Amino acid sequence: MSTPDAAQRVTIEVTVNGQKYCRAVEPRLLLVEFLRQELDLTGTHIGCDTSYCGACTVQLNGAPVKSCTLFAVQADGGEILTVEGLARDGELHPLQQSFSEHHGLQCGFCTPGMLMSAHALLHDNPHADRKAIKKAIAGNVCRCTGYQNILKAIEAVANDTAGGQ
């Protein structure tokens, strides 16, 4: 068994927030490191880095995933949405606006992941009830405790029949 060559690079092409990127990466590079270090998209946070806290949640082809538990090479050819991709033309996304209005955060470190999980939920289930919301963010509960304002913020968007996604 030979020692792997640390210099192996794999060329990947991904679309992040609508923009195409082509990069040669080491296979062991995690998606979250790719986003933060290669693309300078630091809105995606590294929290526990053990696949527990969900702060690093992004969407890959529409599904919420923990970017600390995914190699960048696995995302090759995929469409990635990060928290930076939510706002459009300087306007906050309705979820971001609602988090702001309801003070849907405590320390705020988990907020990008919360937003990405909530966004994925409301895409599949635009009028999700509280039970569905709790289940959807179960992988994002961190350690501040509470979460009531986060639930209220997501619920407000789910209940807003006029609000667009």
Partner 1 sequence: MYPAPFRYHRPASLREAVQMLSALGEGAKPLAGGQTLIPILKLRLDEPSDLVDIGRLPDLRFADAQDGWVRIGALSPHGWVARSDAAAAIPIVKDCAGGIADAQVRSRGTIGGSVSAADPNCDWPAMLRALDAEIICFGPAGERTVPIEKFVLAPYTTALTPGELVTAIRFKAPAAGSGGAYIAYKKSAAAFPICSTGVQLTLDSAQVCRDVRIVLGGAGPTARRALEAEAELRGKALSDALWARAADAAIAIAEPNADVHGSAEYKRSLLRGLLLKTAHVAMRRSANAKIEGSHVYA
Residues that bind partner 1 (CB under 8 A): 1-6, 8, 10, 26-30, 33, 49-54, 57, 60, 63-66, 69-71, 73-74, 117, 120-121, 135-136, 138-141
Rounded to whole angstroms, the maximal C-alpha distance in the chain is 61
Can you tell me the distance from the alpha carbon of 109 to that of 164, in angstroms, rounded to the nearest whole number?
26
Encoding tokens for residue 59? 């969407």
Residues 6 or more apart whose Cβ sits within 8 Å of residue 53: 47, 110, 113, 140, 142, 143
Look up residue 40 and give its amino acid: D
Cα angle 113, 118, 120 (rounded to 5 degrees) comes to: 100
